[in-house]
Amino acid sequence: MINYLIIDDEHIAHDIIKGYCDLLPNMQLVKNCYDAMEALDCLSQNKVDLIFLDLNMPKLKGFEFLKTLATPPKVIVTTAYQEHALEGYELNISDYLLKPFSFERFLKAINKVINTPSKTTKPATEGSNPISKSIFLRENKKYTQVVLDTIQYMEAAGNYSKVVTLTETITVRDKISDLLASLPTNEFVQVHKSFAVAIQHIVSIEGNKIAIGTHSIPIGKIYKMKVSELLK
C-alpha cells in the first residue's frame, strides 16, 4: 500500500490526481493539503510514502517546504512551471510532471516511484521480508500491479506486447522497447526484435534458443552479442 499526500492550492489538481490514483490498486490517500503548513502538520501525525507536490503555493513554496523535511518521503512534483525542473532533481525528487499531464505520463511516474528505493530504506536482513519491486500494467481498462521477479519474458504481438509471468499472461498496448525503458536494465535484456527476457529466469542458452521455464525463446542475429555478454 502506498500512502500518499496531495499538496496543491488548486482544488482541480486534487481531483485529477486522486482520480488517477483511484484507478490503481494499493494507493491510499492520507489527506488533501492546500498549503505547506497544513502538510507539515499532517506529516507529523501520519505515515506518508509519497507526496504529490505543487511548487507555486502561498505561505511556503514547494521546494522551500521540501528543504524543511529531514527525511522526506518520495516526491512527485506537479507544476505548470518547467523552469524549476533542475532544482527539483537536485532535491532528489522521483519525477517531475508538467501540468496538464496525461494518465499515461502519471503512470510512468508512479512506476518510477515504486521501483526506486527510498533513501531511508534499510537493507534487508536475514529473516526480513524486503519489499518487492513492481510495475503497473494496463490490460484494456484494468490496471494490474505485477511483481518484477515474476516476469519471465515479453513478446511483441502486433501493436501490443504480451508480458508472461509465472502465473499469467498480460497483454498491454505498449511496445517492448517502451516496457524495457520502465524496467531495471540489469534485470531484463532484449534477445530478439520480438522478445525480451528476465535474466534471472534463464534456465539455459543453447545455439539460437533460450530456455525459460517450459518456453523456448529465439535469439535474433543482431542480439547475439548481448546474449554472449550474459555468459561472461
- What are the pLDDT digits (tens) for 50-94? 999 998 887 788 888 888 888 889 999 998 877 655 555 566 788
Judge whether 2-114 and 146-230 match in fold. no
- What are the pLDDT digits (tens) for 146-196? 889 999 999 998 888 999 999 999 999 888 888 888 888 888 999 999 999
* Angle, in degrees to the nearest 10, between helices 103-114 and 11-22: 70
Model-level pTM greater than 0.75?
A: no
Q: Residue 205 burial (CB < 10 Å; 0-12/13-18/19+)? A: middle
Q: How far apart are CA 183 and CA 16, in angstroms?
A: 26
The grid cell for 31 is: 489527506
Closest alpha carbon to 21 in 100, 106, 94: 106
The grid cell for 224 is: 547475439
Q: Per CATH, the architecture of 2-114 is what? A: 3-Layer(aba) Sandwich (3.40)
Domain boundaries, the chain: 2-114, 146-230
- What are the pLDDT digits (tens) for 85-106? 555 556 678 888 988 999 989 9
Q: Is domain 146-230 annotated with CATH 2.40.50.1020? A: yes
Closest alpha carbon to 78 in 111, 100, 48: 100
